[in-house]
Amino acid sequence: MLVEEIRLIKGCKKGDRAMQKALYDIFAAKMMGICLRYVSDRESARDLLQEGFIKVYTNFKAYSETGSLEGWMRRIFVNTALEHMRKNDVLRNSSELDVFNQNAFVDPNKTILEHLSTNELMEIICGLPAGYRTVFNLFVIEGYSHKKIAQLLNITEGTSRSQYVRAKQILQKKLTLMDNKLKAKVV
CATH of the domain at 39: 1.10.1740.10
- Within a domain: 139: yes
CA distances (Å), origin 25, targets 8, 61, 77, 81, 178: 12, 20, 16, 20, 36
- Within a domain: 43: yes
Residues 53 and 112 in one domain: no
- Within a domain: 150: yes
Closest CA to 126 of 113, 110, 137, 139: 137
Give the span between the Cα atoms of 66 and 169, in whole angstroms: 39
Q: Which residues are CB-neighbours of 32 under 8 A, at least 6 positions away?
A: 45, 46, 49
Pick from 57, 87, 117: which residue ends a domain?
A: 87
User: Domain limits at 42?
Assistant: 3-87
Report residue 60's pLDDT band, with 50, 70 and 90 as the boundaries: very high
Residues 182 and 117 in one domain: yes
Average the pLDDT over each of 3-7, 96-100, 177-181 and give the range with the smallest value.
96-100
Residues 181 and 130 in one domain: yes
Residues 74 and 126 in one domain: no
Has residue 151 got a pLDDT over 60? yes
Residues 20 and 78 in one domain: yes
pLDDT score at 157 = 93
Contact 133, 171 (CB under 8 A): no
Closest CA to 161 of 143, 142, 146: 146
Q: How many domains does the chain have?
A: 2
- Within a domain: 33: yes
Pick the residue with more confidence: 114 or 102? 114
What integer is the mean pLDDT of 104-128? 65
- To the nearest whole number, what is the mean pLDDT of the chain? 83
Proportion of the chain above pLDDT 90, given as a percent:
50
pLDDT score at 120 = 77
pLDDT score at 93 = 52
Torsion of CA 39, 42, 43, 44, to 10 degrees: 10
Q: At 115, which CATH number?
A: 1.10.10.10
Pick from 56, 87, 118: which residue ends a domain?
A: 87
Residues 62 and 127 in one domain: no
